[in-house]
Amino acid sequence: MKQVLLMLCISLLLLVTAHAQDRKSTTRLEAQHKFSSRWVAKHMQQTEDNLISAVETANSPSLQASAIQTLRELEEIFPQYPFNSALAPLTKKLQDEQADPMVRALAALALDGLHSDAGDAVIKEVSTTTTDKGLQILCTALMVRSNNK
């Protein structure tokens, strides 16, 4: 697990450094760093797979929370990347009443960041079915915010 997280941190650092140069101009980044969109997509897929694996298999809630938070940050840095395979594991964590409350809250925020109808539907469902009042308030606020956009 430590090796996976170390590889994840290194690849994330590379991607964040490259993207921090200029968030809006990918062609400038490609020319400046001499890598293609395919290269970025490949590494993003690898990073996403590693993060999803950590969310699904990590025994520690703090490792799960860290992986989900990293996914959230990548959603913000790379809004054009779809993160399609993250939908199911995040949904599972959000709906799991036995999961750590922080992991569930981060999963709700990450699902909201995906800007997908499926994620919004899960957030709406959890807002009405959960017994965790804090999570219920968060999900309701996320629904209101997405309706105002």
pLDDT by residue for the chain (149 residues), tens only, comes to: 666 666 666 766 666 666 555 455 555 555 565 556 677 778 888 999 999 999 999 899 999 999 999 999 888 887 878 888 999 999 999 999 999 999 999 999 999 999 889 999 999 999 999 999 999 999 999 999 877 76
Q: Are 51 and 67 in contact (CB under 8 A)?
A: yes
Reported pTM:
0.74
Return the exposure string of 49-62: e unless at least 16 CB atoms fall within 10 Å of the residue's CB, then b: ebbbebbeebeeee
The C-alpha atoms of residue 54 and residue 128 are separated, in whole angstroms, by 28
Alpha carbons 85 and 33: distance in angstroms, whole number: 28
| Residue 65, number of CB atoms within 10 A of its CB | 20
